[in-house]
Structure formats: C-alpha cells, structure tokens
Amino acid sequence: MLRKSASSIWLPTLLWLLSLQPAIQVVAQTSYANDFIDPNYFLKTQFAENTSGAQQTVFTRADEFAALGPWSVMNKSATPPSGSKHDYMSWAPYWWPDCSKAGNKTILTPEQIWTNCTYVNRDGLFNPDVRTVDDIGAVDNLADAVFYNSISWALGKNSSYSKRAASFINTWFLDPATQMNPNLNFAQMIRGVNGTNGTHTGVLDLKCMAKIVTGILILREGKSSDWTSDLDNGMVSWSREYITWLETSTLALQEGWSANNHGTFYYNQLAALKLLVNDPTGAYNATNTYFNNQYLSQIIASGEQPLEAARTRPYHYRSYNLAAMITNAHIWTYASTLLPSPPKTSIWNKTTNAGATIQTALNFAMTISPAQSGEQNYTAELWPNVAAVGAVYGDRNGTYASFLSKAEATYYDEAFFLWDQPLAGGPNNSSSGGSVKKGGTNAALRISLDNWTGAAFVAGVVLLHTISSI
C-alpha cells in the first residue's frame, strides 16, 4: 500500500475523499482565505444600490453556513495525546504510516497505527484519513458562519442572524461542555512513535480568527442584544489566554518567525485577537512587526513573491499570501484609527526592500494564468484580492474592474463587492442613498466564485482546504 506510485494513489485518494462528503460538509462556495473588515463600514449601512446583489449573497451564505453548525472540538472521533478532546487537534496531511518496524504480530487498529508505526513524509500526497479528524474544517466553517451572519445582522438588524453568531461562538469557545482549550498544542500533528505534539505549521489552522473577530466587533460595536456582556467577557478572557499561548509557546513562536505566508497569517490572528481584547496598540504593533520584518522580503521588484512561487502550487500560494497581507493591512488601518495619535502615512504605500507594495504583488499575480501550473481550479482565489486592491488604491483606468468582469461577468454579486468599495461594476449606476436591502430572503443558491460542478467542485474544495493548511 505504501509503495504505490503517486498516480496510483491519487485517484483512490480523491474518490475516498468524495465518499466522505457528509463529514466534510462542503458548501457550494469558496471560503475566502481571510479578511478583516472595519465593523463600522457595515454598521453605517450606507451602501450603493448596485451592491444589492452582493448583499443578497451575504444573506444566502449566512443561511448556508448556519445550516452546517453548531461546531465543537468534542465532535471529533479521536482524542489528542493530552487525553482531552477539548484540545484542538489536526493531523499533518502528507504523512503516512510505515508499520514495518512496529513489531506487531497481528493487524493494528487505527489508534495503534497512530501511536506505534513510524510516519514518513510523502510530499504532495494527502493521507485520506487526515480528515477523519476535522477540527480544521469545523473552525473554518464556524468562522464563515460568524462572519456572514454578523454582517447580515448589521445589514437588516434581523436578530435571527445575531442569535446564530452568538450561539456558534458560545458552543465553540465558551460552553464548558463543548469549548476549545485556548491552545494549538496538537495542530497538524505528525503521528507515530514520538508523535505527541503538534507542529508549528498547524498554528495556521486558526488564521480565520480575523473573520471571527470581524463578526464579534460588528455585534459588539452594533450593540446587539444577543452579544451579551457574559459572552463578551468570556471571549475576552479566552482570547487573552490564547494570545499568551501565541506569544510564548515554542510552536507559535516558530510560526511567527516563518518567512512565508505562515508568518503573514500568524499576524492576522494575533493582531485580530488584540482588537478583540480592546488592545488596538497591540494590534497595530503586531501588524507593524509583520510589515517591518517578513513583508520586507516577501515581494521583489517585479511583484513576484519568491517564497510562494517556489511552492508546488504557486498560483494558489501567491493569492493566499496576498489575502494575508491585505488582512494585515486592513487590521493596521483599523487599529490606527483607534490610536491616541494615528500615523500620518498609510501602510498600503509601505515598500519592501525591493521597492514593491501589495499592489505591485497583486498586479504581478494578475499576469499569471493559473493554467501555467495546472491550477485552473484555484482561479477564483485571486479575485477578492483584486477587488480589495482596486478599492484601496483606486482603479482610475479600470484595470481591476475589467479584469474581474472578464473573470466573471456578474462579479458585483460576489460578497466582496459589498465591502471592497469603491469599486466599479454593478448593474446600474444609481448613486449611494443609504439604501439597504432587508435581510431574510433565502435567494436561490449563487454558485458564483467558479463554475465547479459536482464531484469536481467537492474535490477542488477539499484539496484547497487541505493545501490551505500547510
């Protein structure tokens, strides 16, 4: 079984993944790699008329993700080495068991294989049993559910949405029966004889805290009655403990030093959590630490990101790190507004050692066809970044709008079109009049990010999901 060639393992692996569909809980949409949006943008509810399609998409996603929850670390079938399911756990995807030296005389149970065999790396080959423990899938879906439901609440003040977001957060983080302990000691574990700890790359699993914090700040700043002071205090205490883990544990510190997207994403979650605990100075400082360190070497003069281009899926990794850079810049910008003396310059103009900006990296990424590296299934990953850059830097010559409309004719119905504003596009040119569509209608499912169908879509999302965690 372990001696098969790559191609003979690939197909059965995919088919096996497809057979897991109910456990994987795939929804017909791509999860944005990450983002953080100023809560006041949503609470002001002053949107152009031509964002009504995007608003409808947000409502639809809120309902779809909510239908998958609630989620809890207690749902997993396996128990981490600590003995407590309250500890988050995920398994490193490319590692496979070699039982030849286990000394067993009979067939081993899965648990015995996990602890008594030696695990070896087969780069690029997903061990399909990895997703039988799916805390990563759960927390990703939780983050999207909180994000879209909180935004939906801001749009129409329909408390169905705020109740859901509050209840999902309570189940995952706060209810003593179902809560996650504030650590990632067992994330992306390499199982086997010495496989008792997670690995630093697993810290990436909680990058989506930036989306969760966006949602919480909307409920908090918008004074939702469903976001009670008990919940707020509970999340602040949980986050303080987890921040301590992020700033002191060996695994987290190693991740924070990573030169590539892992380092960028580390600051997404650290900085977002500092906002959650009412420490804007800390959030500003954390994102500044990123922009004064890793960032400086991540983009060369052409706009290429060499550390991402070197990976097996360069198109995906360029888009992925761009999303993380944009998230850090969004947090930096929001935190700045809360400082006693806000900085005079904008982080979006900050240049790397080679003189490049986030815009330079985006412009370069737009010139590369995903087909060049066989990554057609990841095409849509770049689009939210195009919209974010167009909105921040401006689109005077229409480059970004025209790229998006060529990629997808109705791109203005994408959720990102609601917050990446101003951005050209949309069905009409009526001016902004503070009009908001009321939430609640369950519009027909929009499969707008890419035209993936059936099994191909499921495979794409599963692969993206898996690749996204390494």
- Residues within the interface to ligand NAG (CB under 6 A): 48, 50, 63, 70-72, 74-75, 99, 102, 104-108, 112-113, 116, 118, 158, 160, 171, 178, 193-194, 196-197, 250, 281-282, 285, 289, 346, 348-349, 363, 377, 392-393, 397, 399, 422, 424-426, 428-429, 431-432, 438-440, 447, 451-453, 456, 459-460, 463
For residues 64 and 229, which CB has a smaller minimum distance to ligand NAG in the complex? 64
Name the minimum Å distance from CB 32 to ligand NAG: 19
For residues 160 and 297, which CB has a smaller minimum distance to ligand NAG in the complex? 160
**In angstroms, rounded to a whole number, what is the distance separating the alpha carbons of residues 235 and 209?**
12
Name the minimum Å distance from CB 237 to ligand NAG: 19
The dihedral sign for the CA sequence 77, 212, 216, 443:
negative
Name the minimum Å distance from CB 394 to ligand NAG: 7
Q: Would you call 234 helix, strand, or coil by DSSP?
A: helix
Name the minimum Å distance from CB 339 to ligand NAG: 11
Instruction: Find all residues with CB under 8 Å of 253, minimum gap 6, and list them.
Output: 247
For residues 92 and 229, which CB has a smaller minimum distance to ligand NAG in the complex? 92
For residues 229 and 367, which CB has a smaller minimum distance to ligand NAG in the complex? 367
For residues 49 and 221, which CB has a smaller minimum distance to ligand NAG in the complex? 49
Question: Looking at beta carbons, which residue is closest to ligand NAG?
Answer: 440
**In angstroms, rounded to a whole number, what is the distance separating the alpha carbons of residues 282 and 239?**
13
**In angstroms, rounded to a whole number, what is the distance separating the alpha carbons of residues 255 and 271?**
14
For residues 52 and 229, which CB has a smaller minimum distance to ligand NAG in the complex? 52
Name the minimum Å distance from CB 322 to ligand NAG: 15
DSSP annotation of 173 reads: I
- Our separate counts of H helices and E strands in the chain read 20, 4
* Nearest one of 248, 256, 243 to 204, comparing CA atoms: 256
* Nearest one of 139, 255, 267 to 208, comparing CA atoms: 139
Name the minimum Å distance from CB 204 to ligand NAG: 19
First to last CA, the chain: 24
DSSP annotation of 286 reads: H
Question: What ranges in 27-134 are assigned the alpha helix state H?
Answer: 39-43, 52-66, 110-116
For residues 323 and 366, which CB has a smaller minimum distance to ligand NAG in the complex? 366
Name the minimum Å distance from CB 425 to ligand NAG: 5
- Residue 422 — φ and ψ, nearest 5°? -80, 140
For residues 227 and 229, which CB has a smaller minimum distance to ligand NAG in the complex? 227
Dihedral (Cα; 35, 38, 43, 48), 10-degree rounding = -70
Name the minimum Å distance from CB 392 to ligand NAG: 5
**In angstroms, rounded to a whole number, what is the distance separating the alpha carbons of residues 237 and 246?**
14
